[in-house]
Structure 1
Amino acid sequence: MSAPNLFLVYVTDAERSTAFYSDLFDMKPMMVTPRYIPFEVAPGVVFALWSGQSDRLGRQTPRTSEIGLMLPGPASAVDELHAVWTAKGATVVEPPHDEVFGRTFVVADPDGNLIRVAPVD
């Protein structure tokens, strides 16, 4: 069986979200279309923004997820990234704090999708 290799984040404004994620993660998309913007995050692994709609999956359908970024290094690396992201204007949902798995914080993208930073497991 193959492992998952495409992770979609639903967005309402693809252009705004592309700018947000490009700046936040300091990466460029593989390509840009009006509704689908993929970023290669590892060889063969894609994180993509998707604003497409279908007859069965409309705006009223709840979509919940949390994007994770696991950082190597000490707990201070989490605090340092928090400072960088807040300077970029990221909306902080949970400020840095200690959890059972280590130091963490959560920000939200323009659509309210959550992005958690934590140490490498």
Structure 2
Amino acid sequence: MNLDSIVLYVDNINKNIDFYTRLFDCDPVLLSPTFAQLNCVDNIQISLKLASQLNPKSSVKGGGTELSLHMPDKVSFDSLFNTWKQLGVQFEQECQTAVYGHNFVAKDPDEHRIRVFTQSV
């Protein structure tokens, strides 16, 4: 398992892209009008997501983050999901397929989000 990125929920994506690219002197990759990645830290990406377009929705405002964990394949993804379920982990969203692959969203005791995904083949 690899920690993939830190996702920051933002109200204005363009304003935040400008801020972070200046702050870290890096180039953004705009993946959609609501999502951008900043490849400015070794081995982890800072991502910006338009708060109004989150799926599933979140009431977190300012300071909200989402840990994103990449699994190497569907088998390890399914295994981790089943293990966490057996451990009683709370899920904001159970397994589903999105444009980027398979994912689920777990919650820690303070309801911070932990999204686990594997890319579609």
- The structure in which a higher percent of residues are strand is 2
**Superposition TM-score, scaled by structure 1 size:** 0.47
TM-score by length of 2: 0.47
